[in-house]
Structure 1
Amino acid sequence: MKLRVPIESTLKALLAQEDTDGDKKITIEDNGSKSFTISSEGVTYEIKGTYHLSNLLQELVIAKNEGKTELEITEAIIEELPAKRVSRMIRDYYWNGLTRTMDADGIERLIADTKNESLTAERLPVYVPFHDELAFNYYKELEAKLLIETLKLPEEITPEYVKSINKKPGVLSLKLEEKNGEIEAVPFVVPGGRFNEMYGWDSYFEAVGLLIDKKVHLAKGMADNFQYEIEHYGKILNANRSYYLTRTQPPFYTSLIREIYEVTKDKEWLKSHLITAIKEYETVWMVEGERETSNGLNRYLAEGIGIPPECEEGHFDAVFAPFAEKLGVDIADYERKYVNGEISNHYLDTYFIHDRSVRESGHDTSYRIDGNCADLNLVDLNAFLYKYETDFAELISEEFNNNFEGFTSEIWEGRANHRRELVNQHLWNENANCFFDYNWMTENQIEFISATSLLPLWCNLATEEQAEALVENILPLLLEKGGIAGCTKESRGAISKERPQRQWDYPNGWAPHQMMIWKGLLNYGFKNEAQEVIYRWLYMITKNAVDYNGTIPEKYDVVEATHKVFAEYGNVGVDFEYITSEGFGWMNASYQYGLSLLSDSLLERLNSLEAPDHIFMKNRV
């Protein structure tokens, strides 16, 4: 069955009948008849139910955006199986909507970014590395037609310098290439919504989905931009904004280049990136007294000075309030004087070291690392660096005949084994059967059960016995209706039931945790457990997309299996009209990755929207 209908009149009639709350979406919260009839050349087709009606709305808008005046409607599209449709939309539309470049078109989009509304200057600053003449000249030429100001960074970028430009925030250049006399910007994928920059660990998880969807050039582009950042800015940045110059992100560079190489088999490309990855390991992570602590394990330590400038006005009022009250001054006045160096406050200096380090960890924010992040050897960070060391060992052995720039695989195996010994000594708790973060200052474990407690499974750091203990004792505590929670309710409650929720804690769940835990379970042969955890996550995403006009946002409440969450910074991806054009970066990737692992029988049940409780007999502890 095929019908051709006029787009404008059909769209107007559909919204008038079914969008009863006027939000330009068709969801289960609308009170329309849930039945809409279209006709063409004597053929009539009745479309029933929220999901099918929202599919019609989306298809009308896609065709309209393509400049069409008529839409050819088929049952196959309107009644497309839910999981198939979500996956297709990610592959064919959302990745395109999230792709950015730092060329003229991309810069123009950045100029309109809402984060630039606080700029006092009329032009958006574009900061360029000291030695990148190609980028400097390119952006200088763009000043004639775009409202940008090209600024060259100093050869040495210090925390003091970064603080000095916080009042003039701008974007940082990424890699440009000269091809056939033309300059091309290397593309990257952004998280979505208000996030128009290339972010650190987001990029790796997005790349997992991109590789599944055969968009290898985009995954490779992000690796090439990572390399550019390390070479020119000294680290993989939290994101390419000027105020992130002192802050890195969780390390996933070796995983990214390995997975790209598995597809491209480009050994020269791999060699170039492997050199850079070793440089990052040695100069960012293994500098003693900085991100390497006295016990040989690692921590996050953002090097900036003072308040993170990306925070909205008033974000730290509660922190400044007691000091302002003691001096009898207004909070805003105290904050201004502290920022300008007119007031010294050692407590605040230390507080902001920890606060910036929380943001460097990617887990901003969580009570697990609140107020002491720079004092902690985190389970997750040390698992990620163990993965670096084993990646180096395996790549050098398998691809470079055990001789790479003076390194052998045995060197890296030795470092990995040493880290494993230290992790077992300081982070493993035999009585609790769990990995816990370790305060290297007080020499105590922090008994907070988090999704990160399971991440040693992802990188094969855990022994077989530890893996069995984690799966038997810890996984059930974190497993909820919609997947793995950021932490247990009990760990969250032990902090203080009166304090406000943090977005990385119970009851919320996050894509990178799910993806790493799935792989970790499979690494150790826990196939049934992996299938259950994957299904719960995919069911939650699919059901919310079906009920809410294709919505795929940044975060979910996995306890209630809903996208309607409390979140300190909102929930990116829910604010759209008619159709989402992006989804959310690592959410999209988690969906594609989960589908690639799900059994055929469970995929059939997912398309039937069969709730997890009806499938899995084992109840959560």
Structure 2
Amino acid sequence: MFFDLPIDTTMQELLAGYDTDGDKRITKDDAPVNKDYRMVSTDGHTVILRNTYYISNLLQELAIAKDGTAPTLHISLCQIQEPPAERISRRIRTQFWDDLTRTIDEEGINRIAGDEKMHDNVQRIYVPYNDSVGIAYFKDVQTRMPKLDVVVLPKDITSDYVKSINDKPGILSLKIENGKGVPFVVPGGRFNEMYGWDSYFEGIGLLLDGRVDLAKAMVDNFCYQIKYYGKILNANRSYYLTRTQPPFLSSFIREVNDAMPVKDPKWLAESLAIAIQEYETVWMGGKRYTSNTGLNRYYADGIGIPPETEPGHFKELLQEYTDKYKLTELEFEQAYKDGTIKDAELDRYFVHDRTLRESGHDTSWRLDNVAADLNCVDVNSLLYKYEKDFEYLIATYFKDGFTGVDGKTYTPQYWAEKADTRKNLMHKYMWDENTHGYFDYNQRTGKRSDFMSATNFFPLWAGLASKEEAAQMVPQLMHELKAQGGFTGSSKASLDKYATGNVQRQWDYPNGWAPHQMVLWKGLIDYGFETEAREMIYRWLWTITQNAVDYNGTIPEKYDVVNATHKVYAEYGNVGTDFAYITRSGFGWMNASYQYGMSLLGDDYIKKLDNLERPESIFKE
């Protein structure tokens, strides 16, 4: 059954009758004037829509059609009544990835270099001093875009230099190839640049949806960053030049290589060499390596208050110092920024704060004012995975040994020994025999943390835990972090113990995040806990699906998984919830988690998902 609907008139009718709160969306929070919406099909049959989900679907399809030139939408009833899980997955596959794709080149630069993060209203791009291709390209673009400010970075990018350009924000160039920018996927919303660990998780979704070339392109941009900026960046903005993110490059390379229909030995060799370079220089060759334990930590360089934070973010913290120096908050911030006031205690706090942001977990009470002192379970698990991936890739594809960027020859045995050493050290410092789990180790105080976090279980994903350890860890995981809508970022007990004041950190209880879900699902499956994995996959996908059905297709950055809602008010709110008529892109790693979960769940549970069967009706305690 088909309908030909005048686009503008029908949209006006729907908004007038069903969008009672005026947000240009039709959700379960609206109180419709008339619950029945009547449509006449092309063959003269009358159909009545009573379901909020169907009516909001119609509004969304009208909004898509409005982008075109035709005044009428031709649509089938099946499209309007598309089952929700299939609809979400289809839109991710056919629409969301494309809308989230960007390039740093003449065609794509306006969308990024002109956004709200350029607060001085200058379209500014920074290019590495030794990227001759990039410099020539953007200098040429500048002749046609006179408002574009092309800045060549110095050879030595120090913390002082980065501080000096904080009031001159700009986008950092990425790889130019064949006269075009190599594409990448952004998270969405206000995040309009290429992020570190987001990109790996987005890549999982891209590979599932057959977008191998786009996933490969993102690996290429990571390799460019290591080659020209010395690290995979927190994101390619000028104020992130001193900060990296959780290391997932070896996994990304390996999974893209596995997905290639035709293998590219040259690409694999070049990518692997640069990944080894990152391992040796970023993680093992500086402050991120702690010689007293032989393990690693996050440690971000930089000076002062992180410039990307929103005004007032540190208000509670800085109040103590404004009182101490008898200045207003604005006066103190300016004096601290220009060096008139020096305070070692505050300096150290911001070392921890920048490091917390490098970890990707910005912010969490687990890391507050202590991040730079911790050998974290997550980063060491990820580096163990690097070592095992390097061992596998060299043994499989480079049987005569592998020569790195530094000219050193690497063998599988070399990496196997590295991995074994790290595994033993993690067990020595991080494994707690009483609680039967891995915990962050404070290498400065010599004490193990007792903070219960989703990151404590990364050894399952990395394959580091023994079978006996996994058997002890999984019951703890399911007891401490399982919630109605998925895994929480931390336990309630840890939140109650460590939180101070009224500040809710967004990576803590009751919130759940896509990367944690995806890591934990894989860890459970790899160790044979398929039943637990299936339950948690379903709980997470049900949360996404139910919220999308109730709230006009909303797919946000994160969820309150205890209450299974996207209405999260911790710190930065919830990116991806602010749109009119229809979400065009969802949110990057949330999209990927949906596709990944759908690939693991099985048809029987997808049918239950389409029927919005609540988890508690399926999984008995």
* TM-score of the pair, normalised by structure 2: 0.97
Partner of 1:29: 29
Residues 1:13 and 2:10 are matched in the alignment: no
Q: CA deviation at 1:476?
A: 1.9
Partner of 1:240: 236
What amino acid is aligned across from residue 8 of structure 1 in structure 2?
Answer: D
Distance 1:25 1:320 in 2: 39
Partner of 1:186: 182
Partner of 1:53: 55
Q: CA deviation at 1:290?
A: 3.9
Given that residues 36 and 48 in structure 2 are in contact (C-alpha distance below 8 angstroms), is that contact kept between their aligned partners in structure 1? yes
Distance 2:220 2:584 in 1: 26
Residue 343 of structure 1, aligned match among 341, 344, 363: 341
Gaps of 5+ in 1: none
Distance 2:371 2:18 in 1: 49
- Computed over aligned residues only, the root mean square deviation of the Cα atoms, in angstroms, reads 1.2
What amino acid is aligned across from residue 206 of structure 2 in structure 1?
Answer: L
Q: CA deviation at 1:111?
A: 3.4
Q: CA deviation at 1:189?
A: 0.3
* TM-score of the pair, normalised by structure 1: 0.97
Q: CA deviation at 1:112?
A: 3.3
Q: CA deviation at 1:218?
A: 1.3
Partner of 1:483: 486
Q: CA deviation at 1:161?
A: 1.1
Given that residues 293 and 440 in structure 1 are in contact (C-alpha distance below 8 angstroms), is that contact kept between their aligned partners in structure 2? no
Given that residues 235 and 284 in structure 1 are in contact (C-alpha distance below 8 angstroms), is that contact kept between their aligned partners in structure 2? yes
What pairs up with 1:43-192 in 2 under 5 angstroms?
Answer: 43-116=45-118, 118-119=119-120, 122-146=121-145, 147-178=147-178, 183-192=179-188
What amino acid is aligned across from residue 345 of structure 2 in structure 1?
Answer: Y
CA shift digits 1:186-237 (9 cap, x unpaired):
0000000001100000000000000001111211111000000000000000
Distance 2:499 2:270 in 1: 49
Given that residues 113 and 125 in structure 2 are in contact (C-alpha distance below 8 angstroms), is that contact kept between their aligned partners in structure 1? no
Given that residues 34 and 53 in structure 1 are in contact (C-alpha distance below 8 angstroms), is that contact kept between their aligned partners in structure 2? no
CA shift digits 1:109-144 (9 cap, x unpaired):
12331112x21xx52221000011221122222224
From the superposition, tell whether residues 496 and 239 of structure 1 become closer, same or farther in structure 2 (CA, over 3 Å). closer
Distance 2:46 2:505 in 1: 51
Distance 1:519 1:331 in 2: 46
Distance 2:202 2:88 in 1: 16
What pairs up with 1:53-452 in 2 under 5 angstroms?
Answer: 53-116=55-118, 118-119=119-120, 122-146=121-145, 147-178=147-178, 183-264=179-260, 265-401=263-399, 403-405=401-403, 406-452=409-455
What amino acid is aligned across from residue 152 of structure 1 in structure 2?
Answer: V
Given that residues 203 and 252 in structure 2 are in contact (C-alpha distance below 8 angstroms), is that contact kept between their aligned partners in structure 1? yes
Gaps of 5+ in 2: 404-408
What amino acid is aligned across from residue 247 of structure 1 in structure 2?
Answer: R
Q: CA deviation at 1:402?
A: 5.3
Distance 2:123 2:309 in 1: 19
Q: Secondary structure at the match of 2:61?
A: helix
Distance 1:581 1:185 in 2: 23
CA shift digits 1:61-118 (9 cap, x unpaired):
11111322211221211111110000001111111110101112321112331112x2
The number of aligned residues is 611
Given that residues 385 and 462 in structure 2 are in contact (C-alpha distance below 8 angstroms), is that contact kept between their aligned partners in structure 1? yes
Distance 1:22 1:317 in 2: 33
Q: CA deviation at 1:315?
A: 2.2
Q: Secondary structure at the match of 2:305?
A: coil
Distance 1:325 1:476 in 2: 44
Distance 1:19 1:326 in 2: 51
Distance 1:69 1:11 in 2: 12
CA shift digits 1:254-275 (9 cap, x unpaired):
0101000001122211111000
Q: Secondary structure at the match of 1:104?
A: coil
Distance 2:400 2:365 in 1: 43
Distance 2:114 2:30 in 1: 33
Q: Percent identity?
A: 53
Distance 1:173 1:451 in 2: 34
From the superposition, tell whether residues 402 and 447 of structure 1 become closer, same or farther in structure 2 (CA, over 3 Å). farther
Distance 1:293 1:202 in 2: 29
The ranges of structure 1 where at least 4 consecutive aligned residues each deviate by more than 4 angstroms after the TM superposition are none
Q: CA deviation at 1:326?
A: 2.2
What pairs up with 1:465-484 in 2 under 5 angstroms?
Answer: 465-484=468-487
What amino acid is aligned across from residue 48 of structure 1 in structure 2?
Answer: R
Given that residues 450 and 487 in structure 1 are in contact (C-alpha distance below 8 angstroms), is that contact kept between their aligned partners in structure 2? yes
Q: CA deviation at 1:538?
A: 0.2
Given that residues 383 and 459 in structure 1 are in contact (C-alpha distance below 8 angstroms), is that contact kept between their aligned partners in structure 2? yes
